[in-house]
Amino acid sequence: MARTVLSYLPRLGLIPIPEANRPNGLSVMVTVKDEEDWVEKSIISVATVANEVVVVDNGSSDNTPLILARLETRMAGKLRVFRFEKEDYCAAVNFTLGKTRYKWILRWPGDFIARTTGEVAVSRLARRVLSLDPKRYFCIWIGPVSLDGDLFHQLPQAQVELEPLVFVYSPMLHYEQIGRFEVLQVPWYYKRIEWREHYCFHMRSVKPARRMLYRFFWTEWMALPDKSLFPTLDSYVRHRIREVYGTTDLSEALRRHLQDVARKFVPYDRNRFGDYPKIIEDEVRNPKYQLIYKSGGVVSRNDVEALTGSADS
């Protein structure tokens, strides 16, 4: 209630109105690292609703930079690509925010895929956002449909988790590393809105097994108050797989990690969440990743088997 009341202060002339900072429009901000599987379709799926797409690559070691360079040429004038090499994701996100130029910001991870057709197309989200009172500050919480392991599974959840992904720009906005995650710090004069429509999908762990393993330990590493013992994520992962899985063999750790996380996977609930985004129809027909079952449980995945040999229980 307090935020709702305080959000009218710009109309009373007590704080600058949003138009004082930037032209009206939508900046999509993407901070990305090692997302070669999804980053191209992620950007293409959302680009049509944006005035600009700002992408910052945070030291990718896969083909992500090559994909971004090709897209930047193809989408010249709309897509701008930058590099932020320091292994500090929160700082990279703030760097991305600082490169945006329009009033409205849509934070868009490089593994998000927008729906482009139907009642919950991303174009409807954009129209809804841009129709809000231009003289007030808003922070809109939305949530994606998340997929895990492959395109046909997900973790069960009573409700889709919402995040502050759409907001009016202010110089006061910034992200802070709080524990394991970077958290948007929103001034008190922003009105919070929650929209529960599913405008996009999150390919949360529909990724290479190595990427899944490193992402699992990444939030732990980010939360370390002192990284002198483990100055890089790789050094921390190598240390942790010995503690957690009792091995120094990275391939074995990949398999063990996949088995651990897959115990909770359930089939994708199409009745609840609807059809997949149109842009990934080819991937649904010919999936790159497929979980392998044995005796009623997930024992591996096709890409892990290509690295380690036949599945076992």
Helix locations, 167-301, DSSP H: 209-223, 233-245, 250-262, 270-273, 281-285
Tell me how far CA of residue 16 lies from CA of 68, 136, 167, 292, 304, in angstroms. 36, 10, 16, 56, 54
Task: Say whether both 99 and 37 belong to one domain.
Answer: yes
Residue at 222 is within a domain: yes
Tokens describing residue 221: 């590493």
209-223 and 250-262 helices, crossing angle to 10°: 90
Does any domain span residue 270?
A: no
For residue 253, the enclosing domain spans 207-265+278-308
Q: CA distances (Å), 266 to each of 155, 259, 284, in order?
A: 6, 14, 17
**Residues 122 and 260 both lie in one domain:** no
Say whether both 109 and 256 belong to one domain. Answer: no
Query: Of 3, 247, 273, 21, whose CA–CA distance to 239 is shortest?
Result: 247
**pLDDT per residue of the chain (313 residues) written in tens, 0 to 9:** 667 767 766 775 667 777 777 999 999 999 999 999 999 999 999 999 999 999 999 999 999 999 999 999 999 999 999 999 998 999 999 999 999 999 999 999 999 999 999 999 999 999 999 999 999 999 999 999 999 999 999 999 999 999 999 999 999 999 999 988 999 999 999 999 999 999 999 999 999 999 999 999 998 998 898 999 999 999 999 999 999 999 999 999 999 999 999 999 999 999 999 999 999 999 999 999 999 999 888 888 999 988 866 555 4
Structural domain count, the chain: 2
pTM across the whole model: 0.92
Residues 6+ apart with CB under 8 A from 312: 294, 299
- How many residues can be counted in the chain? 313
* Same-domain pairing of 23 and 109: yes
Reduced to 3 states (helix: H, G, I; strand: E, B; else coil), residue 154 is strand
